[in-house]
Amino acid sequence: RIKVPTTKKKGYVVFIPDISMSQEDALAVFDYLNRTCKFAVVGDMKCHLPESNEILHSVDCLSTGYQKIVTAITNAKAVITPCSHWTAIPNLQGVPVLSWGDNVGQYKEGGIYNFGNKQSRTIFYDDDSLQLNLIRQVDRYLEDVD
C-alpha cells in the first residue's frame, strides 16, 4: 500500500471520470452522484470534468496533485471509475471500487491488479450499453458498500 494520511471517517465517494469513458457517461454519473451522496471528483489532466476537480485547481497541484489523489482514494467510502490505473490504486489501497471497461478481468478478484481487494467489483459496460444500466449498477454498488 501507498502510505498517505488516513482518516477514520469515510463518508464520501470518489469519482474519477477517466477519458476512457465518454463525456456523456461522465456527466450522467456526476449528476447521479450529485443527487444522491457526498462525493469528490479527482483525477489528472486525462480526466473529464476538470471544472469539478478541486485538486486540479489547487495552487500546488503540480507538486502534490498525485499525493492528494491517492489520499482521497484511500480515505473514500468507495471509488467509481472505468478500468485503468485508477482501478489499480483503490485495489492496492483496499478501498471498495466499481469499475468497467477494457481488460476488466485483470482488476477483479483473482486478477493481476486486484491485490486481494475483495471489495472490488467490475461490471460490463461498453459503447452499446444503456447509460441507465450504468447508473443502476453504480446505485446498487453504493447500496452494497453502505
Task: Kindly report, residue by residue over 60-79, the tens digit of the pLDDT.
Answer: 888 889 999 999 999 999 99
Task: Kindly report, residue by residue over 7-54, the tens digit of the pLDDT.
Answer: 877 789 999 999 999 999 999 999 999 999 999 999 999 999 999 999
Concatenate the DSSP letters of all residues of 41-109 into one string: E---TTBS-GGG-TGGGSTTHHHHHHHHHHHHHHT-SEEE--SSHHHHHHHHHT--EEEESTTGGGTST
pTM to 2 decimal places: 0.93
Which amino acid is present at 13?
A: V
The Cα–Cα gap between 16 and 70 comes to 11
